[in-house]
Amino acid sequence: MSDEISSPAYFALSVAPSPPLVTPVRRFVEHFFATIRGPRATRDRVSIACYELLDNAIRYCADGETDLRVGLMPVGSDWLVTVRTRNRASERDVARAVSILERLSDDDPMPVYVEIMREAVGRDDATGAGAGLGLARVRAEGGMKIAWEVTGNELEIRAEVRTSPEDTQ
């Protein structure tokens, strides 16, 4: 990562539930990482995470308020990159998200990702909504570890990855 940012940094957005905002936010995040000359792979990992986590948060938000926070923490010559979303949702939607996240906790998420892809195709819903494709992408394609916390009806999801200046994997 470039030395233009040499100390912990973050930005945070509060987003009213509006699906058309997801792509502009993703582009903003990509532009941010390009500006600090982050490796392309890191930029793409964070891009996937921002899009899919924010899209889910907006889709299942119960009260019109969704928060997104992207943080960078230097760790030696590496960076710890964190994407966090927080929103309130119905008990049923929180339980479903947690169930998917638990399935994705294995060290090798690809077998579960293939299972989730097959489940998504079997759904009548054209979007595959609720199948967990978005969360599975963050974990399996982005290679990010995902933690979560439920407080009442509020769900916080935190995806993070430690990247090096040569991140290409």
Partner 1 sequence: MSDGPVLASGDLRGTVLRPGPRERVLSLSGVGDTESKEALRDFLLDAHRSAVRDGAREVCVDWLRLEFLNSSCLKAFLTWINEIRSTPGCYAVRLRLDPASYWQRRSAEALVGFGGDEASIAVDG
The residue ranges that bind partner 1 (CB under 8 A) are 19-20, 22-23, 26, 40-41, 43-45, 47-48, 51-52, 55, 110, 113-114, 117-118, 120-121, 126-129, 133-134, 137, 140-143, 168
Minimum distance from residue 151 beta carbon to partner 1 (Å): 26
Q: What are phi and psi of 77, to 5 degrees?
A: -90, -5
**Could you give the CA distance from residue 139 to residue 111 in angstroms, rounded to a whole number?**
12
Minimum distance from residue 105 beta carbon to partner 1 (Å): 18
Residue with Cβ nearer partner 1 (52 or 93): 52
Minimum distance from residue 40 beta carbon to partner 1 (Å): 6
Minimum distance from residue 37 beta carbon to partner 1 (Å): 14
**Could you give the CA distance from residue 104 to residue 102 in angstroms, rounded to a whole number?**
5
Residue with Cβ nearer partner 1 (6 or 126): 126
Residue with Cβ nearer partner 1 (145 or 153): 145
Residue with Cβ nearer partner 1 (148 or 154): 148
